Each structure stands twice: as C-alpha cells, then as structure tokens.
Amino acid sequence: MILVAGSANLDFVVRAHHIPAPGETVLGRDFQTFPGGKGANQAVACARAGGVPTAMLLALGSDAFAQPLVDSLTDAGVQLHTVQAAQPTGVAFICVSEEGENAITVAPGANHALQAQHLPSLQGVTHLLMQLETPVATVQAYAQAARAQGVQVVLNAAPAQALPAALLALVDILIVNEGELAALTSAPAVTAGAAATSSPSPLAEQLAQLPVPCVVVTLGSAGCLASVNGQLLRQAAFKVKVVDTTAAGDTFCGALVAALSQRADMPLALQRASAAAALACTQLGAQSSIPSASAVAQLMQQSV
C-alpha cells in the first residue's frame, strides 16, 4: 500500500496560442475544469498507471469544488482519508499553449489545513509520497513518523523552494525537476536541452550535494537522471506527440513509487515512470491524462 499525503485542487484550464507575458492579455480558446493538485495527481498515478493499492490523505473545503476531486480519486480506486477544512478547496489556474507548455498559479486553500495529527495509521504502508503544496512543517512531521515506522519516505520537492536539512535527512527518495534541484542546491538550473547534449557532470555535481540516498531529476524531453547511492542512472524520454504537459511530472512520481512498491529495480522503475509521464502528455488535463497500467506496458513493449 502506498499512502500519498498532499494537495488536491480543481484545475481551471484555458488553451491559448501562447502563454501570456507579464502585462499581456491573450484570447484563449476552450475552457474546462479538471481534477488536479500534485498530491491527488500522484495518487491517481499510483493507482491507475502503477496499478497498486493506494490511499490518500487530503484536505477539502465544504464547497462545490470538492466533489469532482472526490469522484476522480475514488474512480481511480484511491482510498480517501479526508480532512474537512474551513478554508475553500484548493484551485489552480492553468494556461496551456499550442506547444503543450503550461503556466500554473495555485491558490492552496484547504491544502494548508493538513496538520501533523491528521496522519492516519501507517500499518501496511510501504511508501509515503509527499509534495510541497502543503505546509513544510506538516511534511516533516509525516516524514518523521514514517521513518520511525520503517516506511520509505518519497518527497517530490515541488513547487521549488529551499528545504530544512532536518527534512532532507528523513527522505529516502527525492524527486525534482531542474528548477527544483537548483533551488535545493543554490546552483544555476541546468536546462533539459543542455542536459541532452552534454555529459551529466553538472547535474551529477548538483545531485551529489544532496544528503539523500536516491535523487531523481526529471529533464522533460531529455528524460531523467537518477543518483542511487552515488551511482548514476539515465533514462531517455519516450517520444510522443505532446498535447499538454500538465501532470506529467506527477504521473512520473506516482508511477515510479508504484513500481518500487512492487519491488522493481530502479532502472525498470525509471522506465515505467518515463513511459507513464510521456503518455500523460498526449491528453489534456491533469488526472484525466494519466494512463492505465496496460497502456504504460504497451508503450514500453512498443519501444523495445
């Protein structure tokens, strides 16, 4: 069983020719709402793309935005531990360009209501997966409880921010993108394009600065790179037609942890996660874009 503790947001998505620059107004095209939030996306990815038993601890407001999130999670087979918050349900405003890139603004709302005392029993849980759309103090409290009970702690350090050393010391697996890695190491971000055309040395140096046994950095179209007890592993990206990159990183996280919970070795887990993330880019929306485990297996087979 995987327990995801984190955020759930209702996403308000507008497609436009391009993402507006500061002060610019852009006429969008279609508008839709989708269940989202890093935590909820990753829970759906664990259950649907990973095909493993998954539970989620989340906080929701008593408003109309909460029900679509509950419906999406339960439809994916996620068991819910819900905290009823006084704040409104979290929301995100997303603009998606014709190239599939996005710009996201999040109003966390109820997600900030998660507190240390809300953590459910960890009996039967192998991995605790968290993000940073909930209070860092709460994340650290959950990590400490998991470490004390022998549960693997997985942290997706997103959105990017510096983190206390005490929290990093409790993490078994850290997942970041280039910007998040830079925020943690106070180093310039290494772009995916540069990573694809040069040796992994700059990234390897950044990974080596982090006191975590396993660090995975996602590199978009350049794939991903992992440092496992000092050993570097690289996984190329699967080639697909990109429609919307929203939740691709979350899908990667969920599928990776799901594979590890099934005792896959890290190279295979990285491959499954990369295939799932690629498929998530071929559909619009967050949780609506997360593929099934069978679709992931099919893409992996086609790429052999």
Nearest to 257 by CA among 131, 169, 73, 122: 131
3-state secondary structure of 2: strand
DSSP class per residue in 94-117: EEE-TTS-EEEEEE-GGGGG--GG
3-state secondary structure of 256: helix
pLDDT at position 203: 86
- Give the amino acid at 295: A
Question: What homologous superfamily does CATH list for 2-302?
Answer: Ribokinase (3.40.1190.20)
Sheet hosting strand 28-36, strand order edge to edge: 28-36, 9-16, 90-96, 102-107
3-state secondary structure of 253: helix
Mean pLDDT, each 10-residue run in order, the chain (304 residues): 97 92 91 94 97 98 97 97 97 88 90 97 98 97 98 96 95 96 77 52 86 95 93 94 88 98 97 97 88 94 80
How far apart are alpha carbons 182 and 186 in whole angstroms? 5
Whether residue 159 is preceded by a cis peptide bond, meaning omega within 30 degrees of 0, is: yes
pLDDT at position 196: 47
Among 63, 71, 250, 265, the active-site one is: 250
Is 75 a residue of the active site? no
Q: Where are the domains of the chain?
A: 2-302
